[in-house]
Chains A and B, each alone.
Chain A
């Protein structure tokens, strides 16, 4: 029953996490992670809200027919799907290549008790 009803906070940290946190290796991981996800998050939110504002306030522009019955609004809306799928794929490949190996190294060191 070791899993039962225990709280997420460990009793006494055996590892000196502050040292680990300051280590060059961990700082590199943190920088890589935040350096990737923060700009991307800002970018997709800006693009989403730009789209929302256009759909909300630029009806004429969005209603412009591009070909057949397909208008700008529909293309931009489908564009949101495309960018969402693209960002997902991009992040996964980045995380697999750049984040996971580094995280694994640090985790292995921690498991072995190397500071």
Chain B
């Protein structure tokens, strides 16, 4: 553990210039690919949905790239290294959630929509109000997710580049944001997808190498690895309860989180939008299958990596390092392969943030230009090309907002933002998605009540929860206005979203058009009339 001890003393690990060089190489390579891929970006289908030309395996890899954010990679490794078994619980929720997407959502969405979640939700309901509501929840989820990623970028910088002052970190956040804007602006969905595919391949193979390495050190015996982790971190790391088992309230909080994780994924707009980049529902199904295998495999790696970091480095050293919990994976890379492996893993972690931020930005921009600008403001009478132009302008605006927001949240405890994004997706989006796909009688009022009710209850509960005020790690220190005891609002807001959708529907006097409902049902199951790939 000697190199690490010195590393921690100098508050940075590895050689910053090496980290920057590897990351720079990643940016250069992906930028060339984005430029090549973007030559055919002509229509809205090209810009928003990559001409629907990706194959299932390609899109599945991109979904994994989109989904395995820095929070999953750095966050889960760190959580397992420090809290042991309780960290593992996260990854299970994140994985099982994909079954909801596979069985109930992916193919039906692909068959009925064109570019956005709102396409499906407004198919047989009143266009404008439902589109505005769906665009609102999409933008909110993307915004929370985006802020969390940008905050993660700043934390990573202090660890990997040895930049600890605020100005330096802000500059790096701005650079990350600017590169992302270029990717999305030029590359559209096609460029974004390629960035995600490359990043997923790097991330998963990097994690695989480290996993084999850690297992090799422990004689390829999982039991021995767990034993070593228990020796360094205490036997409790192998059992549940270290993080969530403390009080009755924290146990309830865990149920709330579990609910949000498993039901949130299928309502995440940037995940849903990926289903439109393939030509058919069958390819959408194949994408989810690929995504499930890749994501599942990756989470199995994080189990080994987390316990490996716990065993080889120890929870105390991880917590003491700059970047805290999030530094477990980079520190483990350094311990195993020295500065070179650390440089590669750090570059991958940066690439992860970049790719996820790009995916979120194009989703938010599409939702604004397609749902709000073209459908609601212009009432579907846009001139050719105008919609994509608006999307590009929105990309720049969102990019700038993300940079400013990202600089603003540096050093803040914002890890809860990802959990909040999942909670909002599960309470505001999923009920309406499931109702519109499976419940003929569902009405516009039900959709609006469910989306706005789910959204506002999740946000209000978070605003008055211990994560915002009244606890040691709260965002706002010095004041205490919390009255909701849990950190995650899911246990209240998700059932509420479903309940409001039902209540709004049964109290509606006007029934929706049965002909369009029949059309939606036939289309969703058969794929009749679904948009295919654009020829080039």
Q: Which A7-49 residues have a C-beta within 8 angstroms of B?
A: 7-10, 13, 15, 17-18, 20-21, 26, 29-30, 33-34, 37, 40-41, 44-45, 48-49
Instruction: Tell me the nearest residue of chain A to B108, going by C-beta.
Output: A33
Instruction: Tell me the nearest residue of chain A to B239, going by C-beta.
Output: A63
Q: Separation in Å of the A114 CB from the closest CB of chain B? A: 12
Instruction: Tell me the nearest residue of chain B to A29, going by C-beta.
Output: B525
Q: Separation in Å of the A76 CB from the closest CB of chain B? A: 9
The reply to whether B114 and A52 form a contact with Cβ atoms under 8 Å apart is no
Interface string of B505-536 (1 = CB under 8 A from A): 00000000011101101110111110100100
The CA of A52 and the CA of B521, in the complex, are separated in Å by 34
| B527 partner, pick from A8, A73, A103, beta carbons under 8 A | A103
Judged by a CB distance under 8 angstroms, whether B384 is at the interface is yes
The reply to whether B285 and A17 form a contact with Cβ atoms under 8 Å apart is no
The reply to whether B103 and A13 form a contact with Cβ atoms under 8 Å apart is no
Taking A5-B386, A8-B119, A9-B122 as contacts, is the C-beta distance between A52 and B241 under 8 angstroms?
no
Judged by a CB distance under 8 angstroms, whether B102 is at the interface is yes
Judged by a CB distance under 8 angstroms, whether B95 is at the interface is yes
The reply to whether B45 and A81 form a contact with Cβ atoms under 8 Å apart is no
State which size class the interface on A falls in: 35 or more
Instruction: Tell me the nearest residue of chain B to A102, going by C-beta.
Output: B526
Q: Classify the interface of chain A: helix, strand, loop or mixed.
A: helix
Pairs across A and B, CB under 8 Å, 11 listed: A15-B528, A17-B515, A40-B103, A51-B92, A59-B245, A68-B223, A71-B238, A74-B88, A87-B99, A88-B99, A111-B528
Judged by a CB distance under 8 angstroms, whether B375 is at the interface is yes
Interface segment, one of B71-79, B167-175, B291-299, B451-459: B291-299
Judged by a CB distance under 8 angstroms, whether B32 is at the interface is no
Chain B residues near A21 (CB-CB < 8 A): 518, 521-522
Interface string of B209-250 (1 = CB under 8 A from A): 000000000000111101100100000001111001100000
| B519 partner, pick from A17, A49, A80, beta carbons under 8 A | A17
The reply to whether B230 and A110 form a contact with Cβ atoms under 8 Å apart is no
Taking A33-B525, A59-B239 as contacts, is the C-beta distance between A53 and B519 under 8 angstroms?
no
Taking A3-B43, A103-B527 as contacts, is the C-beta distance between A88 and B92 under 8 angstroms?
no
| B525 partner, pick from A4, A9, A13, A26, beta carbons under 8 A | A26
Chain B residues near A1 (CB-CB < 8 A): 43, 384-385
The CA of A45 and the CA of B262, in the complex, are separated in Å by 9
Instruction: Tell me the nearest residue of chain B to A80, going by C-beta.
Output: B92
The reply to whether A63 and B385 form a contact with Cβ atoms under 8 Å apart is no
The CA of A33 and the CA of B527, in the complex, are separated in Å by 14
The reply to whether B119 and A85 form a contact with Cβ atoms under 8 Å apart is no
Q: Separation in Å of the B240 CB from the closest CB of chain A? A: 4
The reply to whether A56 and B251 form a contact with Cβ atoms under 8 Å apart is yes
Question: What 5 A-B pairs come out closest when comparing CB atoms?
Answer: A68-B223, A69-B226, A63-B239, A17-B519, A8-B119
The CA of A8 and the CA of B251, in the complex, are separated in Å by 44
Q: Classify the interface of chain B: helix, strand, loop or mixed.
A: helix
The reply to whether A49 and B226 form a contact with Cβ atoms under 8 Å apart is no
Q: Separation in Å of the A93 CB from the closest CB of chain B? A: 11
Instruction: Tell me the nearest residue of chain A to B228, going by C-beta.
Output: A69
Judged by a CB distance under 8 angstroms, whether B113 is at the interface is yes
| B528 partner, pick from A62, A63, A110, beta carbons under 8 A | A110
The reply to whether A13 and B374 form a contact with Cβ atoms under 8 Å apart is no
The reply to whether A3 and B44 form a contact with Cβ atoms under 8 Å apart is yes
The CA of A50 and the CA of B425, in the complex, are separated in Å by 23
Judged by a CB distance under 8 angstroms, whether B104 is at the interface is yes
Chain A residues near B516 (CB-CB < 8 A): 9, 13
Chain B residues near A57 (CB-CB < 8 A): 251
Chain B residues near A91 (CB-CB < 8 A): 102-103
The reply to whether B262 and A81 form a contact with Cβ atoms under 8 Å apart is no
The reply to whether B95 and A67 form a contact with Cβ atoms under 8 Å apart is no
Interface string of A87-100 (1 = CB under 8 A from B): 11001100100001
Judged by a CB distance under 8 angstroms, whether B282 is at the interface is yes
The CA of A40 and the CA of B519, in the complex, are separated in Å by 26
The CA of A41 and the CA of B519, in the complex, are separated in Å by 25
The reply to whether B99 and A44 form a contact with Cβ atoms under 8 Å apart is yes
Instruction: Tell me the nearest residue of chain B to A62, going by C-beta.
Output: B240
Most buried by A among B254, B288, B522, B531: B522
Taking A3-B43, A3-B45, A10-B519 as contacts, is the C-beta distance between A81 and B299 under 8 angstroms?
yes
Instruction: Tell me the nearest residue of chain A to B85, going by C-beta.
Output: A73
| B223 partner, pick from A29, A37, A70, A73, beta carbons under 8 A | A70
Interface string of B93-130 (1 = CB under 8 A from A): 10110111011100000001110000110110001000
| A9 partner, pick from B88, B127, B239, B255, beta carbons under 8 A | B127
Instruction: Tell me the nearest residue of chain A to B295, going by C-beta.
Output: A84
